[in-house]
Amino acid sequence: MSFNKKTIRDIHIDGKQVLLRADFNVPVDDTGHITDDYRIKQSLPTLNYLLDRHCGVVICSHLGRPEGKRDEKYSLAPVAKRLSKLLDKPVQFASDCVGSEVEKQVKNLLPGQLLLLENVRFHPEEEDKDTAFAKKLSSYGDIFVQDAFGVVHHGSVSVSELPKHMSSVAGLLLEKEVDTITNVMENPKRPLMAIIGGAKISDKIELLERFIELADFVAIGGAMANTFLLAEGIRTGKSLTEPEDVGLAKRILAKARAKAKTGHFTFYLPQDGVAAKKMDKTAHTRIVDWQAHIIADIEAYPKRPSVEATKIGADEYILDIGPFSSGFIAGGVQLANTVVWNGAMGVTETQPLVGQIGPFAHGTDVVVEAITGQFGHRPYSLVGGGDTVGYIGARGEIGFFDHVSTGGGAGLELMSGKKLPGVEALEDKA
């Protein structure tokens, strides 16, 4: 299904003043340095298209969660500097997003110039869907362009209210994101494999259920796997679990097993994991083989493996999938033609004490190697989720994947089959 909303290509936009909603919610360290500018770079095609057509562009965005109060650590000033460098063009910066000084800057903006407004979330009206706030922002342009895929599942002023007050179309990034994700879900090249990680089943219940319906292979990792293991009667020690969602896990497992009886379908839970008594780069780690017992047998041979080799201790955490599980998932990737990956397989934030891979990131690294063709076959890949994108971004590997989404929650909702308010509010092509 192709994108059914008007985009900047579908309207006469030459010489117009545009109010653009971008997603510049990027990580900024304590010194004001942007540590990952992927989202800014993804906005460049839309910006260049508008500049090539001599538009004056007023950009509004957010950064972080300042909760309706001004907080300089969430200022977009560093973004203005980085954007200027990326475009090789001056980017003016407004110290607020409303007020007489901002109105003066907007009024003086010439065709082909850019003005970035300060964080819209410095004002509580943004999240309160305030009509007066929407009207103020709508006075800054002739046309509203929505290009912030990362927030189109929200109902804030700059997402779903502004289109009520002005002509509104999509930017090139928004079109690309919706088109790509929708096409993968509706018309994938099969076999389709989904690799789902993250912390909570409850956050991804609809996604899991949809992939059980659509996919040929679903592999589970990350902390959410612990709750599934708990539902299967496997000890998880002090690992992050959701005991209140064990019933939910059992329901998902029952649905998956029912589908497996009707045809070729695999729903895979980790069979081994990396355990430690603390989440620290100095922690002693060990592989616990709670189901496969292959690693335990090999390590103990010619003796029988100890009980401890196949059990997570009461004082231990499961912090990554083990080598058997990561190898099994990698094998599944070799048989797939489309892979959707959302969520790391372990705790990727812990930095290594030795080597280049963190002590709890080996499972995730094997998934990266498999998807990017380092074992031979390279399937089409769609990657989403903040921790996943952050991991491959930090390693400089984004370019090895076919589509790396700029939206976390928005991508999840779109893949789950939900409508996105920020998209629905735009003008239809028909």
* Catalytically active residues, by annotation: 39, 200, 386, 409
CA-based nearest residue to 207, from 239, 184, 234? 184
Report the alpha-carbon distance of residue 288 to residue 293 in Å, rounded. 9
Give the Cα separation of 298 and 221 in Å (integer): 24
Q: Tell me the one-letter amino acid at 211.
A: F
For residue 337, give every residue at least 6 positions away whose Cβ sits within 8 Å of its Cβ, in sequence order, or none: 188, 189, 190, 191, 192, 379, 380
The two three-digit tokens of residue 418, written as one number: 């939900």
Integer Cα distance of 389 and 407 in angstroms: 10
Strand 266-268 and strand 403-404: the pairing is: unpaired
- Kindly report the number of other CB atoms within 10 A of residue 103's CB atom: 14
What Cα–Cα distance (Å) separates residue 44 from each residue in 28, 362, 364? 19, 34, 30
Closest C-alpha to 19, from 182, 184, 147: 147
Q: Which amino acid is at 332?
A: G
- Could you tell me the two tokens for 95? 């110290």
Residue 117: closest CA among 89, 136, 143, 142: 136
CA 365, CA 313: separation in Å to the nearest integer? Answer: 25
What is the SS3 assignment for 273?
Answer: strand
- Nearest Cα neighbor of 26 from 83, 69, 71 is 83
Q: In sequence order, what E strands does 328-426 have?
A: 338-342, 380-384, 403-404
Nearest 5°: phi and psi at 151? -125, 5
Q: What is the CA radius of gyration of the chain?
A: 24
Tell me the two tokens of residue 215. Answer: 């996919």
The sign one gets for the Cα dihedral 207, 210, 216, 218 is: positive
Q: What is the DSSP letter of 351?
A: P
371 φ, ψ (degrees, to nearest 5): -65, -35
- Cα–Cα dist 198/408, whole Å: 12
